[in-house]
Amino acid sequence: MNTGNTITREIYWNVAVESFPVTQIVMYGLVFIAMGLFVHGLVKGGFLTRFKMWRLGIATDDDRLSDKAGRAVKALVEILTHKKILERPVMGAIHFCLFWGFLTLVAATTLVFIQADVTSPLLGVTFLKGNFYLFFSMAADIGGGLALLAVMAALVRRYFLRPAWLDNRIQDTTILWLLLLILASGFCVEALRMQATELQAGNPMGPYVWFSPVGRLFAFLFAGSSVKAAETFHRFIWWTHLAFSLSFIVYIAYSKLLHMFMTPVNIFLRSDSQQAPLKIMSPEIFENAETFGVHNIEEYTWKDLFDTEACMRCGRCVEVCPAYNTDKPLRPRDVIQNMRNHLEEKSKFVMGEDGKAKIVPDEEYKGPALIGECVDKDTAWACTTCMACVEACPAYIHQFPKLIDLRRYLVMMESDFPEEMNEAFKGMENNSNPWSLGAETRGDWAKPLNVPLMAEKQDAEYLYYVGCAGSFDDRNQKVSTAVASLLQKAGVDFAILGAEEGCCGDSARRAGNEYLAQMLIQQNIETFGRYKVKKIIASCPHGYNILKNEYAQLGGEYEVYHHTEILAKLLDEGKLKPNKELQGKITLHESCYLTRYNSILEPPRKIINAVPGAQLSELDRNRKNSFCCGAGGGRMWMEEKLGTAINVNRTQEAVDTGADTIASCCPYCLTMLTDGTKSLNKDEDVKVKDVAEILNEACE
């Protein structure tokens, strides 16, 4: 029993040519030419130039080469299972079928090569026979069939169902049609072989033709062909199929197909952190460095630069970006692609005669600028740091931290930032809050509840870190009151800092003012140290995140909980017993800094579901696919002057659920959604409340 390709070669060699060695020489000669053109493409396509530019990048904060075995296993599992890609089911399934289909075909071709060109001629051994051959034939056909269906589905999507965020370049069309031609011609080769051999009467392979199901279906196209015609046409299609296949190998070097190699490497190099951390700036840098942030591409880390190579332009980051979805100039994919192109452009100005890249001082550099020409300032300031792009990216690229590095340069070196941020920065610097309200009034909201101060109590199991919004904003003071009231009802040992509490520094850091952020952080760490604080409850997810994950950079390590975590725990322990029935439908808007940054998904739902009469209605974009309110990344203090309002977009989605109440877990979200209901003239019909307020009402 012969393999399909072995029979193919027998037909070709016996009918098409007189000399088998000549055919083999021509075929493998073409293979070597294709490999040579592939290497040439890496050079002409700019890959080797960009590789030299990566090496200019500075070191990363994380050790990306630690635990190589563990990283390799994680990367392999990610690649083989397509876990991240399948989070978008339709395109995930298309890519999954294409990936596994081609992997199966590559494996089958390799086995055929080993038998036909190694074991059979040299050792007289054939292993593709019997039941193993039947399994082999079936697996290869099914794999190829799935790949063929996947390519056709991708073509339909790109030409007939293409979403607005999916860009369409010539290479995208070339890749899909080339894949289609490779697969279709391959099955035609198989079909013509079957028509000339096993579909003929009396052929011993006749009973087994359906073990090559896709080839058999294609063979119906040639059912009327004679053996001679099938052999002749087979000869032509075989060479055509080879030409398409070798062209594909060459085109990898010139196109986004290179992601087949780069993306797995990037997955291997991914950060161990759940979130996309910002580049650490040690306090010493402010004493020694001449420049802060990034304004030259080589000031990024080598991993940041490698990210640009791993990007396959799938557009998932654009699909979920709140800035893009509200007509702002930010498309995370394009930021990464523009940086990739910028690497090539800059290389012309920094590559020496010896072919090595070097750093060129600003005063000598005459090439394109990173800020302004590669990445527009409006693009850098449009980001809300919601991390949706990072969460969606199957290549594990960190998009938005690169924009924060640009902001750092603009703020700390150029004093170039949205004018509204000026007042916020001044307020944080002078009064440790962006409103510039008197710090001595920070704890006034708590006086009616007799909430103890750390200065009076000296010690408590938990520090309730209220945050700026919960302390100074009238609407959010009600949330602080609800949280404190619930903690008192449950008998939790806690206290607040009152006037001693300072701004957490999150808005300053995300807005690029790292110097101010570190000043605020260090002041809080000193205050926490005086009271030997170990456990912290925070109401603001932004404060929660920076306290939990970033204060440690400056020596502040604490157990930090969001108030939803604590309240859910108190419900589980029976220390809070909601007994008042609340009528109406509630929809939950989730904070980006709780869901994507810290995977806090169930506590808010547990709280709502514990309230008698509450009906939870999920938003279409929920959990880690939640849509931003628009206030993150310091944008709480900036005006939206471009496109439409992000908060109105999200509020409209919540209103469309028919809910009577929009539940929130974040003071920024609460403010933005409340403003959204007013903009939509729905503030009388739809109320916006924190989950703590809802629970507190039910516990009265």
Give the SS3 label for residue 615: strand
Helix axes 20-44, 227-252, angle to 10 degrees: 30
Check if the beta carbon of residue 558 is closer than 8 Å to that of residue 536.
yes
Q: Give dist(CA 406, CA 375) in Å, integer.
A: 9
Strands 687-690 and 661-664: parallel
Averaged over 270-283, what is the pLDDT? 89
- What does the pLDDT read at residue 52? 87
Q: Give dist(CA 432, CA 520) in Å, integer.
A: 7
pLDDT in tens, 639-665: 999 999 999 999 999 999 999 999 999
Q: Which two tokens stand for residue 482?
A: 């609800």
Q: Give dist(CA 215, CA 192) in Å, integer.
A: 9
- Number of Cβ within 10 Å of residue 261's Cβ equals 12
Give the SS3 label for residue 562: strand
Q: Give dist(CA 575, CA 539) in Å, integer.
A: 20
- What does the pLDDT read at residue 8? 37
pLDDT at 92 over 90: yes
Please give the model's pTM, rounded to 2 decimal places: 0.91
pLDDT in tens, 42-57: 888 888 888 888 888 9
Instruction: Report the b/e string of 333-370 with b at 16+ CB within 10 A.
Output: bbbbbbbbebbeebbeebbeeeeebeebeeeeeeeeeb
CATH fold of 285-412 reads: Fumarate Reductase Iron-sulfur Protein; Chain B, domain 2 (1.10.1060)
* CATH code, 585-698: 3.40.50
**CA 234, chain centre distance (Å):** 45
CATH of 427-572, one of 3.40.50, 2.60.40, 3.40.1000, 1.10.10: 3.40.50
Q: Residues near 500 by Cβ (< 8 Å), separated by ≥ 6?
A: 454, 455, 527
pLDDT in tens, 343-361: 989 988 888 777 788 888 8
Strands 535-538 and 687-690: unpaired
Averaged over 253-275, what is the pLDDT? 91
Q: What percentage of the chain reaches a pLDDT higher than 70?
A: 97
Q: Give dist(CA 16, CA 589) in Å, integer.
A: 69
* DSSP designation for 477: H
pLDDT at 368 over 60: yes
Annotated domain spans of the chain: 4-47+68-268, 285-412, 427-572, 585-698
Residue 242's closest CA among 180, 175, 185, 184? 185
pLDDT category at 120 given cuts 50, 70, 90 is confident
Greater model confidence, 8 or 485: 485
Q: Which two tokens stand for residue 684?
A: 């009388």
pLDDT at 631 over 50: yes
Bridge-partner residues for 495, per DSSP?
463
Assigned CATH class of 4-47+68-268: mainly alpha
Q: Do domains 285-412 and 585-698 have the same CATH topology?
A: no
Q: Residues near 353 by Cβ (< 8 Å), separated by ≥ 6?
A: none
